[in-house]
Structure 1
Amino acid sequence: MTDTTNNLPAQFVNDPTSLEAIDRFRSWMLNYRSAVQVVETKIHYLDQEYQIQNGHTLVDSLQSRIKSPESILEKVQRKHLNFDFETLPQQMHDIAGIRIIVRFEDDILSMERRLEKQPDIKILNRKDYVSKPKPNGYRSLHLILAVPVFLAAGVEEVTVEVQIRTIAMNFWASLEHELSYKKNVQHQDELRHELVVKAELVHQLDQDMNAIKNQIRAEEKRS
């Protein structure tokens, strides 16, 4: 992950030349990078453990990101939040994010259960868009985790948003995101309707593939 603090917007501090404020922002963002590394390490270990126990992997791929200073400021302004190093983390939980891509719908809950059992991680919030998709067809499981970061002054809990979704869900979401953020796309309403229709087809495909997987593994255990 790159250090984006050199692009710190002047609006973040009362005095843009204040080295103290800029250093504080860098330390603040370092906490988020450290929290992401903690969760990524756990996910890699849990996936390796799962593979040893079951003979196949749980995680297909892993993506992570830290919001840029510009993105943080844009959301602060859009949501009418006060930028404050102490209070903003309680209002904005997606500054640090991890996306876990799994192959099958069953794997979503398998990964969630393994994260739940980690004694040093707390699940602060859970939004299940898998069983209850958004009106536009979006499906994914969203978790807000409180992750311990060990500092010289002690331990601090940092929030990390974790999204868990299948390959098919991610494929659909990538295209929906592209449509949402592209300007001057003709026939947007028609394309959005088409994506809603395709979301149901993607869901049906996920369920069918999950059922086939379960049948294969059940027969494998009997043999």
Structure 2
Amino acid sequence: MNTTDIAILTGLTEQHIVQYQDNFSLHTAAVSPFIALCEAAKTSGIDIRIASSFRSYQRQAAIWQAKITGARTVFDQDGKTVDVAKLAGMSKLDAVLLYSALPGASRHHWGTEVDIYDAAAVPDDYKPRLLPEEYSETGPFWAMRQWLQKHAAGFGFFQPYQVYQGGVAAEPWHLSYRPVAEQYLVQFSASTLRQCIALHPLTEQELVLEHLDTIFTRYVTNICR
């Protein structure tokens, strides 16, 4: 694998990325399929909007630092706040990794991933929190979730975190463009991630490198296919 491929996988380049809308960016190959998905959803009264898309290594590292140090709220699967200062070792990493990927290992680096919500289901000033209750049967985005389960695959998209499998929490807001994302996942390895982190420091780096093989298995390759 060449250096360009490694840079794409780990979020160290944006050469595969184009700006889409509202300062959100996508992989060049994902733009047209995503537009088609959104247009189809509109016929059912669903207005799909992006809450998050491409993120660089540096951006993911900033999120990671804020959460691992307790400067930004960390939630458990029940939506309760976790005090990471009281945790140590792999337990501390697990608490953050439940909802936030390790820098260099986020699928958002690839530009194939979008976190979405339905703007038609909420007021214009609504700020999506990307929490499970918003996508539950009593939440505003339930109709969109149901529609995606029926139609997303027809446009090449799937939900890698549809249910909790012992790694990343269920994320009903997370869509992935399968044709490109699958290729990237096959190319990716724990060795590539280790090299990236060794060259680009992050908070709790020593602890992360100690448990990197477990992290890769539990949080990177462990997806709903």
What is the TM-score when the length of structure 2 is the normalising length? Answer: 0.34
- Larger helix proportion of the pair: 1
The structure whose RCO (Cα within 8 Å, separation 6+) is larger is: 2
* Structure exhibiting the larger radius of gyration computed from Cα positions: 1
